[in-house]
Amino acid sequence: MIAINKPLIGEEEKEEVMKVLSSGKLTDSSFDGSSTVREFEKNLAKFVGVKHAIAVNSGTSALLASLIALDISYGDEVLIPSFTFIATANIVLARGARPVFVDINLEDYTMDINDLERKITSRSKAIIPVHLYGHPSNMDGIIKLAKEHDLFVIEDAAQSLGSSYKDNKTGSIGNLGCFSFYSTKVITCGEGGAITTNDDDLYIKLKKIRNHGITAYYNPDVLGLNLRMPEMEAALINVQMKKIESFLEKRRKNAKILSEYLEGLKGINLPKEKKGCVHNWYLYTISLEKNRDAILKILNDKGIGATVYYRIPIHKTELYKKFGDYKLPKTVWASEHVMSLPVHPELTEQDISNVASSVRDAIKLIIE
């Protein structure tokens, strides 16, 4: 099976993890964290182009800590897309705030700015744009509205490490940026996350939040939890961080080759980088005018791990239906028509050619 994404773990990662196991020190609950954690934070902050990074134990933790840091809770509304991974909405609910769902555009599947503007109310407190599949959201439009309405911007950059918008890396544009290092992400430590920011006060607050709110001996002044990144994960992600540029380069190359193969096929829309944007190609997502699921089945039967992400948009799930009878036509269209194809760094040109010819054959059989 050609996997849609997979962890790319070499001997170097294994060696560093073994060193941690031999050291007898598997975690560090000090305020600043261990030297391994701090090394990662320094390198991530540099890569993203911000003053600070705070390592945590998942992307969900990064988002939750961000909402706590910005005092978002009961009575507040948070504007989010419905076409995203459910964690983006769950952390809003976990804070007792209300998720308000915004439609997307169909060029890059990120937030539609006109719909965002329509959904802002006097209770709105924050916008969480999701850089879906790795493509940056329209950050100029989002920042403009946030300034006009005094809203925080928390970038859900879980999928977009390495992407940029007008020369600024995602995660460096809003008040806070949240990353995930879950097993399928562009770099991984199994489970892990981080928050990036240029704000000194939020940085200190977030370090408390990831560690039960504690700075000095048991005297918390903010709600915190155990959101710390353990040592084995920190050791692993440090090695992965060194490989990020080469991983991104290979993804870009694979996406380019795949687009060349698929260009001109009828019934299929290929992903494009919008002007001023750099895509990290975490997911290469096409849309098919019709018969998506029949084509998906043919590809999967041939051993190609093509995958549909977000088949049920969040606003239509049992849990979230009660938050309003939303009409989000583009979100619904995308959920019925998209499909992601593999372009991860380990694929050979032959693999890409196989993916492309299988898509071509399936379309011929089903659509033409």
- Token pair, residue 324, equals 């309003």
Q: Which residue lies nearer to ligand PLP by CB, 184 or 354?
A: 184
Residue type, 283: L
CA–CA separation, 183 and 192 (whole Å) = 9
- Token pair, residue 105, equals 């555009």
DSSP 274-289: PTTEE---S-EEEEES
Query: Shortest gap between Cβ of 158 and ligand PLP (angstroms)?
Result: 3
Residue nearest to ligand PLP (CB): 59
- For residue 51, the 8-state DSSP code is S
Q: Which residue lies nearer to ligand PLP by CB, 209 or 352?
A: 209
Q: Which residue lies nearer to ligand PLP by CB, 58 or 358?
A: 58
Query: Shortest gap between Cβ of 281 and ligand PLP (angstroms)?
Result: 15
Query: Shortest gap between Cβ of 185 and ligand PLP (angstroms)?
Result: 7
User: Beta strand pairing status for 77-81 and 124-127?
Assistant: parallel
3-state secondary structure 57-69: CCHHHHHHHHHHH
Residue type, 147: K
348 Cβ contact list (under 8 Å, min separation 6): none
- Residues forming contacts to ligand PLP in the complex (CB under 6 A) are 58-60, 84-85, 87-88, 130, 156, 158-159, 180, 182, 193
- Token pair, residue 119, equals 């959904």
Q: Which residue is associated with the tokens 């380990």?
A: 346
Q: What is the C-alpha R_g of the chain?
A: 21
CA–CA separation, 44 and 234 (whole Å) = 12
Q: Which residue lies nearer to ligand PLP by CB, 182 or 203?
A: 182
Query: Shortest gap between Cβ of 183 and ligand PLP (angstroms)?
Result: 9
Q: How many CA atoms lie within 13 A of 359 on its CB side?
A: 30
At residue 80, the 3 state secondary structure works out as strand
Give the residue among 313, 338, 320, 363 at the shortest CA–CA distance from 135: 338
Query: Shortest gap between Cβ of 156 and ligand PLP (angstroms)?
Result: 5
At residue 111, the 3 state secondary structure works out as strand
Q: Which residue lies nearer to ligand PLP by CB, 70 or 158?
A: 158
Query: Shortest gap between Cβ of 116 and ligand PLP (angstroms)?
Result: 17
Query: Shortest gap between Cβ of 91 and ligand PLP (angstroms)?
Result: 8
Q: Which residue lies nearer to ligand PLP by CB, 294 or 319?
A: 319
Q: Which residue is associated with the tokens 């239509």?
A: 316
Query: Shortest gap between Cβ of 35 and ligand PLP (angstroms)?
Result: 23
Query: Shortest gap between Cβ of 316 and ligand PLP (angstroms)?
Result: 17
Q: Which residue lies nearer to ligand PLP by CB, 49 or 190?
A: 190
Q: Which residue lies nearer to ligand PLP by CB, 154 or 202?
A: 154
Q: Which residue lies nearer to ligand PLP by CB, 4 or 158?
A: 158
**323 near 98, Cβ under 8 Å?**
yes
Query: Shortest gap between Cβ of 84 and ligand PLP (angstroms)?
Result: 5
DSSP 185-248: SSS--BS-EEEEES-HHHHHHHHHHTBTT-SSTT--SS---B-PPPHHHHHHHHHHHHTHHHHH
Q: Which residue lies nearer to ligand PLP by CB, 28 or 155?
A: 155
